[in-house]
């Protein structure tokens, strides 16, 4: 009963406790700017161009605005202050090194080394129990696409795949030895089979006594609920623990467009209700089997958090059991993270970090997500406005 009394996911006072009046006003200004779709489009293109040109002035502007809102810092050490601040509100951090779009073996090795450093760094901080990893940071997109299509690899591709396997294994091995978990992100459906196969291998290898490796399930795909069930059965048969991070999915438009252009069935659910239904069912399934499954409910959807918190309340288990986790992106949905943490749940933030030029694609996605073609006030902006009103700013 205590949970229901203490958990109010609309409490903006708790949500923005960590922000001074000045910081809150700056956040409001930024979200107001992003709420204009045309402006966001123009500024995003300018930002990408300026970052490519490596113009110092633009890097500084990006760093003091959108980067500061959504990223922890350019290096691990740079993230320390943010990690400590989050920790002072019982909020955990998930280190998320933001390397996207690099396609050389040299850059894949460099990214692997950064993941290894992140695992080491996490092991020294109790409030950083997890790092996240994108397989496209460790191998060519085209290679993952070919593996996923089921076509045989030629000799040099086989060598590339062996290198990828070594990189993934090196990170998971290090994480396992340091008792740090690894969330492996889900990406486009046409490379996901290769990712799933790798993650299954790693779970089998490193989840024997506790959950180290997590796969990610995009519930906007109509086949993912069945895949969660199958992954669970596989874990039971192999006698290992199953790590499941659930998301709705970030690439819907791209997925639909490709399916239409190439004439194959759309992998995405027919509508948002179907995605929500499978999302709820997936979370419920994981909670019902929490002894064998560690779940991360990775969402900005208030109802999804509320439903899981209510469900936990009905279970005979402590609400901060290590297998029951919530996570949001840094800079978004503080109402969920901070209120869940204040009520005693395991709640964390994905904390992206890396050089400004490397995280630009991530920042563009965040800006687009917070812009509106209809001119409606976005979820984040309206939360900040409520808190400003409460503080009479
Ligand atoms: C901590 C964290 C980690 C993440 N990691 C990943 C990851 O590894 N891979 C990844 O792909 N994404 C990832 N995401 C992003 C995530 O997939 C969503 O895009 C984002 O969180 C928005 O969904 P929501 O559940 O927060 O909220 P909501 O606003 O309730 O849902 C929006 C989502 O619903 C789905 N949707 C919207 N309209 C329709 C429709 N007409 N038909 C069917 N579905 C629809 C889409 O997935 C859309 O993004 C992550 C998000 C978080 C918070």
Question: For residue 365, what pLDDT is reported?
Answer: 85
Report residues of the chain scoring pLDDT below 50.
1-5
Range of the domain at 285: 2-390
Contact 314, 58 (CB under 8 A): no
**List of residues 6+ apart from 263 with CB closer than 8 A:** none
Closest ligand 1 atom to Cα of 332:
53
Q: pTM for this one?
A: 0.95
The full DSSP string for 308-374 is HHHHHHTSSS-TT-TTEEEEEETTS-HHHHHHHHHTT-EEEEEEEES-HHHHHHHHHHHHHHT-BSS
**List of residues 6+ apart from 20 with CB closer than 8 A:** none
Domain count within the chain: 1
Question: For residue 370, what pLDDT is reported?
Answer: 79
The CATH number linked to 94 is 3.20.20.220
User: Mean pLDDT in the chain?
Assistant: 93
Question: For residue 372, what pLDDT is reported?
Answer: 63
* Ligand 1 pocket test, candidate residues 248, 249, 273, 378, most atoms within 8 A of CB: 248
CA-nearest residue for atom 32, ligand 1, is 248
Question: For residue 162, what pLDDT is reported?
Answer: 98
For 2-31, the pLDDT digits (tens) are 444 479 999 999 999 999 999 999 999 999
Only one residue has tokens 């970030």, namely: 250
- Tokens of residue 282, six digits: 């997936």
Only one residue has tokens 């509320």, namely: 306
Question: For residue 61, what pLDDT is reported?
Answer: 85
Question: For residue 373, what pLDDT is reported?
Answer: 57
Question: For residue 103, what pLDDT is reported?
Answer: 84
Residues framing ligand 1 (Cβ under 6 A):
185-186, 216, 218, 220, 247-252, 268-269, 271-272, 275, 298-301, 327-329, 350
| CA 212 to centroid of chain Cα atoms | 16
Question: For residue 2, what pLDDT is reported?
Answer: 43
Closest ligand 1 atom to Cα of 220:
44
**List of residues 6+ apart from 272 with CB closer than 8 A:** none
Question: For residue 34, what pLDDT is reported?
Answer: 86
């Amino acid at each position: 009963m205590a949970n229901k009394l203490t958990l109010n996911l609309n409490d903006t006072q708790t949500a923005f406790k960590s922000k001074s009046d000045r910081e809150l006003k700056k956040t409001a200004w930024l979200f107001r700017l992003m709420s204009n779709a045309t402006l966001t489009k123009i500024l995003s293109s300018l930002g990408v161009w300026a970052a490519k040109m490596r113009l110092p002035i633009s890097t500084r502007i990006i760093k003091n605005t959108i980067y500061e809102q959504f990223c922890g810092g350019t290096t691990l050490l740079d993230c320390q202050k943010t990690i400590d601040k989050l920790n002072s509100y019982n909020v955990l951090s998930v280190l998320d090194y933001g390397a996207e779009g690099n396609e050389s073996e040299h850059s894949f090795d460099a990214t692997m080394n950064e993941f290894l450093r992140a695992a080491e760094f996490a092991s020294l901080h109790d409030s950083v129990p997890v790092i996240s990893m994108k397989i496209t940071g460790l191998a060519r997109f085209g290679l993952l696409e070919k593996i996923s299509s089921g076509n045989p690899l030629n000799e040099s591709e086989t060598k590339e795949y062996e290198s990828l396997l070594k990189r993934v294994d090196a990170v998971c091995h290090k994480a396992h030895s340091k008792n740090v978990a690894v969330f492996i992100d889900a990406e486009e459906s046409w490379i996901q089979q290769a990712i799933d196969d790798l993650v299954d291998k790693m779970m089998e290898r490193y989840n024997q006594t506790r959950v180290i490796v997590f796969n990610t399930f995009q519930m906007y795909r109509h086949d993912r609920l069945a895949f969660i069930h199958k992954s669970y059965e596989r874990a039971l048969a192999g006698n290992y623990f199953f790590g499941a991070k659930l998301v709705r999915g970030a690439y819907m438009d791209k997925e639909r467009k490709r399916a239409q252009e190439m004439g194959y069935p759309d992998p995405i659910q027919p509508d948002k209700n179907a995605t929500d239904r499978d999302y709820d069912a997936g979370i419920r399934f994981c909670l019902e089997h929490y002894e064998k499954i560690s779940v991360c409910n990775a969402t900005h959807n208030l109802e999804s958090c509320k439903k899981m918190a209510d469900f936990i309340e009905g279970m005979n288990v402590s609400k901060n059991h290590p297998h029951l986790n919530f996570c949001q992106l840094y800079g978004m949905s503080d109402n969920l993270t901070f209120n869940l943490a204040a009520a005693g749940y395991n709640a964390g933030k994905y904390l992206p970090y890396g050089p400004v030029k490397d995280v630009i694609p991530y920042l563009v996605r965040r800006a687009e997500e917070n812009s509106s073609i209809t001119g409606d006030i976005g979820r984040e902006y309206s939360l900040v406005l409520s808190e400003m009103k409460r503080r009479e700013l």
